Chain A
Amino acid sequence: METLGSILNGFSIALHPVNLVFCFVGVFVGTLIGVLPGIGPLGAIALLLPSTFYISPTSALIMLAGIYYGAMYGGSTTSILVNIPGEAASVVTCIDGYQMAKQGRAGPALGIAAFGSFIAGTISVILLSFLAPPLARLALRFGPPEYFSLMVLGLTVLIYLANGPIVKALMMAALGLVLGIVGTDLITGRARFTFGIIELNDGIGIIPVVMGLFGVSEVLFNVEKIMKRQVTKTTISGLLPNLRDWKDSAGPIFRGTFLGFFLGILPGGGAVISSFASYAVEKKVSKHPEKFGTGAIEGVAGPESANNSATGGSFIPLLTLGIPTNGVMALMLGALVLHGLQPGPLLMREHPEVFWGTVTSMYVGNVMLLVLNLPLIGLWVQVLKIPYPILFPLILLFCLIGVFSVSNSVIEIWFMILFGICGYLMKKFEYEMAPLVLALILGPMFENALRQSLIIFDGNPLVFLTRPISAGFLIASCLLLLTTLLPWMKGKRKLLSEGD
């Protein structure tokens, strides 16, 4: 009852004309950057983050959240029509979506992606509304050992789901932890690995790292070859899927929604992983797995629902525990901190307008996206026709502006270039970037939780195993890592990475 009252209050905030405008700007920009390959939601949020200085924290979060879930909608268009993912969470949609477009079924593919996203987005927001309050209450009982073990679990999940050898993924996580150490030690005030550079006292910024690893490296990788993008020549008519399409897609949409939501909650989970996991699950449960890869609508409906649902899920750890689960959430945390708000279990109690305003704006945003996506598909197709040689200078300029605008420092641009080179080499030598980024984000919190636990419990490392919640997280992490050694599990991991 209390939650229902809060939801109604949230709607009164989300439906305020100013917030409606910011919600629209968010979902429109999100869809646009989702459609355009090369600049993901993270880049767009980094670009717009400084502009949120001048607006209320609620409006800021509403707009930034809109970019995130809007990008998930937009990403499918590029995957289906051009066979290039607009953003990472739509990689798997290329497989069957593009095949459908080649068979003249681009309309139903785009339609089911939009409807699936809408259904999943809405269900995930409902789940978020009802799960967040009890989780926040539970989180109040978390001490440093629980936080430490939860972060270990998050990193383990990401490592487990990474493509390729587990040793390489672990190596990247260790490197991320090392990078996370850079800066002033919060307990003793000693500078670590700053090499006399003042800008490094606050640590390595997440924005130059992510823009470099994902933005610049992607461009460097793409300019190696002359890229000819071919928008599939098909008349996009009949966006409404037929009865048969709905029958085939209903199961994948609902499975994708719940899978995506729960993977989104886990630190290290999120939209990208849930879309791959959903594809693997659909292929596994299908009576005709051989149809996957040849234009099966289930291969579009499941992953597109999962990646939208995961966006809702990933807000839970941020808003209830104060833990960002991915780069986008780290920027959201940054936006909240910029406005003097501390995300965590007390946010809901102390600033209900921010929490419930943002959550309910996602309902509103999902409706806007459905209205925006289907009639405006022609506009997005035109956007897609911009050739890559004209697009990539723009992407680079946006990365440069985004990095500079957050810190007003040229040194951050140098860091971005450095990480761009690193990301390019990592792509070449097939190293996963996601464990590095998550370890970098969680690094400082991870260290604090570990050191505080040891200080509070008199240096007893067994404290992580004697407290039940913490022990549960650690046991789950160990089991997950151990399963990678079993031969049949190796096969499942391979299946998860098949779509890449």
Chain B
Amino acid sequence: MALGIFVIGSGFELGFGEWREPGPGFIVVLSGGMLFFLSALWLVMTLLKKWGMEASRRFFPESDSYKRVLLTLSSLLVFALLLERVGFMISSLVLMIFLFRAIEPQRWRLTILLAVGITVLCVMVFQVWLRVQFPEGPISIYAIMKWIR
């Protein structure tokens, strides 16, 4: 509902225009109004339905579920932060090692093997073959390839 009000307000600010010449805020006001009206309707329906009902079911199925979800999410955030600073190769290696160890821990040997294997494969396929312009970071695949040659 709050989002609906914000959208309607922004729509009028942008300029609603008139029916003959709708402004940039025309559809903004209409869709914001729809969002507000439907949210209000749903709120009323939910309140009427919940009246006298039992407490809602648990949000997480297991006691440590929230930890797994938060760890997975934070790994993505760290990847996004690292990518431009240390480059694709290191950030994907860190991401893989973290996910293989933190969520459902694998043996260290398998973790390293998989993380290195997947990273090398992704670098070769996406960076070298498909020429995706990933940030290079301190370790450049092109420098490594040049050195090998």
Contact = CB atoms under 8 A, between A and B. Distances in A.
Chain A interface extent, by class: 35 or more
B35 interface: yes
A413 B99 contact: no
Chain B interface extent, by class: 35 or more
A389 B104 contact: yes
Given A181-B28, A224-B65, 5 more contacts: A174-B35, A177-B27, A224-B68, A389-B106, A447-B27
Interface string A171-185: 100110110010001
A451 interface: yes
A389 B69 contact: no
Contact of A401 (B19, B65, B114, B122): B122
Contact of A168 (B42, B72, B75): B42
A190 interface: yes
B80 A175 contact: no
Q: Give the interface centre of A192, A224, A414 by most chain B CB atoms within 10 Å.
A: A224
Interface string B9-44: 010001100111111111110011011001101100
B99 A396 contact: yes
Contacts of A178: 3, 7, 28, 31-32, 35
B27 A459 contact: no
Interface in A212-229: 216, 219-220, 223-226
Contacts of A428: 59
B56 to A, nearest CB: 10
A224 B69 contact: yes
Contacts of B139: none
A187 interface: yes
Given A167-B38, A451-B27, A397 B32 contact: no
B31 to A, nearest CB: 4
B130 A51 contact: yes
Contact of A216 (B62, B76, B103): B76
Contact of B18 (A193, A219, A413, A459): A459
Interface string A415-432: 001001100100010000
A396 B68 CA distance: 14
Interface in A226-245: 226
Interface string B110-135: 00001000100010001000111110
Contacts of A454: 19-22
A172 to B, nearest CB: 9
A213 B34 CA distance: 22
Contact of B38 (A170, A190, A393): A170
B79 A188 contact: no
A72 B68 CA distance: 31
26 contacts: A174-B38, A177-B34, A178-B35, A188-B23, A192-B25, A193-B10, A216-B76, A223-B103, A224-B68, A224-B69, A225-B65, A396-B75, A400-B92, A401-B122, A404-B132, A404-B134, A405-B130, A410-B83, A414-B80, A417-B80, A428-B59, A446-B27, A450-B22, A451-B26, A454-B22, A460-B19
Contacts of A54: 131
A392 B72 CA distance: 10
A400 B69 CA distance: 17
Contact of B83 (A226, A390, A404): A404
9 A-B pairs with the lowest CB-CB distances in the bound complex, closest first = A459-B20, A459-B19, A393-B99, A185-B24, A389-B104, A224-B65, A177-B31, A174-B35, A174-B34
